[in-house]
Structure 1
Amino acid sequence: MTHINVLDPGASPLDYYGFELRRLREAAGLTQQQLGDILNYTGSLVGQVETARKVPTPEFSERVDAALGTGGLFSRLVELVLRSQLPAWFRQVAELQARATEIYSFEMGVVPGLLQTPAYARAVLGALDDTDLEDRTAVRLARQRIFEKEEPPLFWVVLSESALHQEIGGSETMREQLAHLLSFQSNPRINVQVLPFSAGAHAGMTGSFDVYRFASDPAIVYTEGYGSAHPSANPDTVKACSLRYDHLQAAALSLKASAELIRRVMEERYGEQLA
């Protein structure tokens, strides 16, 4: 007889998800393999999710809801699951991003997580630790679902030119990532400006930071250390960083010129031309 892990549904959102998936699958009279066939996943993967050894994705959850007729239960649960899988120090930040109506980000050397492609995110996360890399990548990419909301936030990024040249994950990954940045040109709610090397000394030399603004709460400035988050609602800090961001936007290239630079770096450094 096959040993079946008994999950405590109160242990974590992941355990609760697995417990409910097994309960509803069995209520439908399906084996793991049969449900996997319906979902177009392996029965083994279904089993791993049911035993909390694999983090489900939003796509997996949507297919389960459709297959088992659960009225969107798993699509709602997966949001909690993915947030619970973030590093503890980052969970508050993810919640701020989910609630913000406006996000202003300055990044020194890497494309921000909210705009990363799967391959780029995998390369960044796996630089020093490849443990559970696929799950950690899925968790990071799930944060991008804030742009799928009925009223997504305004997201404005000032990106140092160095992020375009820092080759992360190889040429193909960088081509894909830069093409992804260009794909937002027609989206007025996601704006990418590049701060060129020619700007010289600039207002962001002390490091990357974000400013989150909300419909009815005070704005928050966020900076990050090694394994630690530093959000601050101090009015003086918010005022100073907002002014700093204004200067960065003024020093950066226009949206059109930024796109032209991204395209040029992609073609010249990473060897592929767009039609």
Structure 2
Amino acid sequence: MVNRKELDADQSPQAAYGAYLRRMRDERGWTQDDLSMRTGYSSAHISAVETGRRPPTPRFSASTDKAFGTGDKFERQARAVRNTAILEGFPEYVGYEGRAVEIRLYEIGIIPGLLQTPEYARVLADSSVRRGSITSEQADERVELLMKRQSALERIDPPMVFLTMDESCIRRTVGGAAVMEAQLAQLVEFAARPNTLLQVAPFDIGERRPLNLPVYLLTLPDRSVTCYAESQSQGHLDRESVSVLPMLTAYHQLQAEALSQTASVAMIEQARKGIS
């Protein structure tokens, strides 16, 4: 088998689902085309589910259970995937993020994950546990994934990272003074790197703010652009240029309204003094 991707079932519930799907297919000697004919899904779709690039839907799982004669095993595994701490669409986004040559981030209310200190990230995860929205195990999974993602910024040929944050990100205290001061200090260090641009979108731009939800835009090595956006309970990855390019335009419009990097760093330093 040429270029067959190795699967790590321990990586996440979605990865475990993909590994189980491949194992069941291999045991029967079926190719992805064979399973495609039995489920009505394309071989490319099956490949994406097996390798964790696409989450399994209830309909897909019902089709695979029927094809394999496994009762509801795939449907139950799919529920485990949906109940994980990671939003739908995000695992696929992370795969693209690790290959991106340019990363554009916009966040509201909290520091973007790629720039969070471990202490800041842990406070947010533990808060979700106390609210009952995730389990302790899921909190650990969330923080572990975050640290793995941040390693992309330290690779030999790191991506260019454009970070535009709503002013609320630096004004909202998370974890107390010590945690927040260290987090703001890390932002200042980030802004000093040669491959980064940090801007704060101040409150006073008002209605001129073109984006109202967090947005992540990735430029891949072939110069195609992928967009990921999320709400409180759902994430969505989009690779279609007809919908991605307007988001890229809105991001550039946001940058035009935001403070310069020099003024942004000055605002962050002022915020640091206010909490020390």
Q: TM-score, normalised by structure 2?
A: 0.64
RMSD, aligned α-carbons: 2.2
**Greater shift after overlay, 154-163 or 222-231?**
222-231
Residue of structure 2 in register with 1:131 after alignment: 136
| Distance apart, 1:217 and its partner CA | 5.5
> Any stretches of 5+ residues in structure 1 without a counterpart?
1-9, 16-84
| Distance apart, 1:190 and its partner CA | 2.2
| Distance apart, 1:203 and its partner CA | 3.3
Alignment of 1:5-24 (within 5 A): 12-13=9-10
**Greater shift after overlay, 92-101 or 194-203?**
194-203
Q: Does 1:87 align with 2:86?
A: yes
Residue of structure 2 in register with 1:111 after alignment: 111
* Secondary structure in 2 matching 1:150: coil
- Equivalent AA in structure 2 for residue 87 of structure 1: I
CA contact (8 A) 1:106 1:204 kept: no
1:190-245 alpha-carbon deviations (Å, 9 max, x no partner): 22100111222233342111111111152111101334321112212222111111
* Secondary structure in 1 matching 2:207: coil
| Distance apart, 1:260 and its partner CA | 0.3
Alpha-carbon separation, structure 2, partners of 1:196 and 1:220: 26
Alignment of 1:40-79 (within 5 A): none
Alpha-carbon separation, structure 2, partners of 1:211 and 1:247: 14
| Distance apart, 1:253 and its partner CA | 0.6
Alpha-carbon separation, structure 1, partners of 2:149 and 2:218: 15
- Equivalent AA in structure 2 for residue 127 of structure 1: S
Q: Work out the number of aligned pairs and report it.
A: 192
Q: How has the CA–CA distance of structure 1 residues 86 and 217 changed in structure 2, closer, same or farther, with 3 Å as cutoff?
A: farther
* Secondary structure in 2 matching 1:126: helix
Alpha-carbon separation, structure 1, partners of 2:206 and 2:145: 36
Alpha-carbon separation, structure 2, partners of 1:249 and 1:217: 20
Residue of structure 2 in register with 1:181 after alignment: 187
CA contact (8 A) 2:87 2:234 kept: no
Residue of structure 1 in register with 2:43 after alignment: none
Alpha-carbon separation, structure 1, partners of 2:227 and 2:155: 23
CA contact (8 A) 2:113 2:146 kept: yes
Q: TM-score, normalised by structure 1?
A: 0.65
Q: How has the CA–CA distance of structure 1 residues 204 and 106 changed in structure 2, closer, same or farther, with 3 Å as cutoff?
A: farther
Percent identity (aligned): 28
Structure 1 consecutive aligned stretches of length 4 or more whose deviation exceeds 6 Å: none
